[in-house]
Amino acid sequence: MRFDTTQKKSAYHIINEYRVSQLVELFMKYGDYREVRARSIAETIYSHRKTKPLETTHDLVTALEAAKCNAQDQSIIFQCVRIETNQELDELERFLDIAPRACATKGRIAVITFHSIEDRIVKHAMQLWEGQ
């Protein structure tokens, strides 16, 4: 899941070493889960990793199935872990901060988003750009 393999943080680290509260926050922030559902998923992951670290995607899927996550939920959890692993929203904000200075006068910037959180960040940046 790491785009930059020189980075220390990995999906393995997140799944196996984050506290339950950190996982809950992660699933709420990047997966738009309500706290009760996020906590249920996080606690199930925690209980599975207590016996043996979750080393493969199959191990994580097994834990998610135990948390009654369907295929869509599983995709969302994997997405949450990927976003956290790569610090994708921080990277997006850094790009949006420098993009206007890198763009030619009267140039255009197009940004395609795949997640509502990304969309909000981009819209906010573009609103700031309009004011300049």
Alpha helices in 1-132 (DSSP H): 11-17, 20-31, 35-51, 57-66, 71-86, 88-102, 116-130
Task: Give pLDDT tens digits for 26-38.
Answer: 999 999 999 999 9
Q: Is 117 inside a domain boundary?
A: yes
| Residue 106 Ramachandran class (φ > 0 left, ψ -120 to 50 alpha, else beta) | left
Task: Give pLDDT tens digits for 67-124.
Answer: 999 999 999 999 999 999 999 999 999 999 999 989 888 888 899 998 888 999 999 9
Q: Which domain holds residue 110?
A: 88-130
Statement to judge: residues 25 and 82 lie in one domain: yes
Statement to judge: residues 27 and 16 lie in one domain: yes
pTM (2 decimals)? 0.82
